[in-house]
């Protein structure tokens, strides 16, 4: 079973989608004013809160961007901690500064678009 090699057009379209995804992720983080320092600080606070509320069955509402759910303080702090860990992973994947990553990906985005445009005539 042989796989047909991708054309340059197909490769460019695939790379364009990947770069657009990265740009969106970086812009979302920057819009939320996230940085390595803020991710570290928020994770530290979430770990502290989780430690304080370990086993706490007090009823609370867990509120995030998509859900408003009645739960316990223990579960809420577990979910909050997981969210902050995920956020730190997201921020740290882009290197030291989000602005630098944004510039790099924006430059790559422009290169791909220029290449696609040049093929169209």
Where along the chain do its domains lie? 36-119
Using DSSP bridges, classify how beta strands 59-63 and 68-72 pair: parallel, antiparallel or unpaired. Answer: antiparallel
61 forms beta bridges with: 70
Residue 29 pLDDT > 90, yes or no?
yes
Residue 2 pLDDT > 70, yes or no?
no
CB neighbourhood size of 102 (10 A): 17
What would the two tokens of residue 59 be? 């009823």
Helices (H), 34-72: 36-52
pTM of the model: 0.80
DSSP letter at 70 equals E
- Kindly state the average pLDDT of the residues 17-46: 96
Residue 1 pLDDT > 80, yes or no?
no
CA distance 24 to 21: 5
4 pLDDT tier (thresholds 50, 70, 90) = confident
């Amino acid at each position: 079973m042989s796989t047909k090699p991708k054309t340059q057009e197909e490769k460019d379209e695939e790379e364009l989608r990947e770069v657009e995804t990265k740009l969106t992720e970086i812009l979302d983080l920057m819009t939320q004013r996230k940085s390595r320092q803020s991710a570290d600080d928020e994770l530290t606070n979430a770990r502290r809160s989780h430690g304080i509320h370990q086993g706490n069955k007090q009823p609370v509402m867990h509120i995030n961007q998509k859900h408003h759910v009645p739960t316990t303080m223990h579960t809420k702090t577990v979910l909050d901690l997981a969210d902050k860990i995920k956020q730190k992973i997201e921020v740290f994947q882009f290197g030291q500064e989000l602005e630098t990553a944004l510039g790099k990906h924006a430059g790559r985005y422009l290169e791909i678009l220029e290449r696609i445009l040049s093929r169209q005539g």
